Amino acid sequence: MLRASCQLLTQTALPAGKSGGSGFALEFVRWRRKPRWLPVAKSKMFRVPERKKQSEEERTELMRLHNQYKTQLRSVRQFLREEVVRHEETSTADHIVLTPEQEEAEFLKCVDINATWNAKIAKERDQRLAKEREDKVAYVQERLEARQLREEERREQANLRVLREIESSKTFITRENLDAAIETALANPVDHNFAIDLAGNLYRGRNSSQVPDSTPSSNQHALSN
């Protein structure tokens, strides 16, 4: 893209008679310096730059300006130093000398203030700890009640399961009624080989006819069997 843009600029810079351009001259100028990571050129490697000679008038003028600058800087420093000293002398906070009685009274006053602060903080701490204890007791009580409810539900479910097992145990085949169960099974054979089509017709198994049962009552009776 850069090459195409350069070619376009070159074509527009040519005279109008050669390539049909506008006829103005275009010149590229690069003002960028040499990158610092590149080494010194071979032609400038051993060159020693010549030190320019300074005239006496120029040296005198530079010295005058330098002395003037240093004088002004010393004046500003001295002014600031005097301001600090004056502020320290006029301020009475650091120059108050207390007697032993005044120092004792000031110390007792600080002790009273500290005791008041400690009492206030202790009261707030006691209130906070009491509230935390109440919250913890309420939380533990809630957990105990929830656990008790879970235990009761688990006990009820276990009782219901036991009752169901007891009720279903009445139909169990034991050693005493084994012969009767065998005779009942031989007398009433059950064939589970049947099919149901999309219309809901029931087709019984190998031991019955292939006539479909279309009545809902007969289908429900067959499914229940």
Contact in structure between 16 and 23 (CB atoms under 8 Å):
yes
pLDDT of the chain, 225 residues: tens digit per residue: 444 445 544 554 444 444 444 556 666 656 577 888 888 888 888 988 888 888 999 999 999 999 999 999 999 999 999 999 888 877 655 556 678 888 889 999 999 999 999 999 999 999 999 999 999 999 999 999 999 999 999 999 999 999 999 998 888 888 888 998 899 989 988 777 888 899 989 887 665 444 445 444 444 444 444
**Per-residue confidence (pLDDT) for residue 212, from 0 to 100:** 46
Contact in structure between 65 and 73 (CB atoms under 8 Å):
no
**Per-residue confidence (pLDDT) for residue 103, from 0 to 100:** 87
- Overall pTM > 0.85: no
**Per-residue confidence (pLDDT) for residue 124, from 0 to 100:** 96
**Per-residue confidence (pLDDT) for residue 95, from 0 to 100:** 56
**Per-residue confidence (pLDDT) for residue 128, from 0 to 100:** 96
Ordered DSSP codes for 182-217: HHHHHHS------EE-TT--EE--TTS----B--HH
Residue 202 φ/ψ, nearest 5 degrees: -100, 125
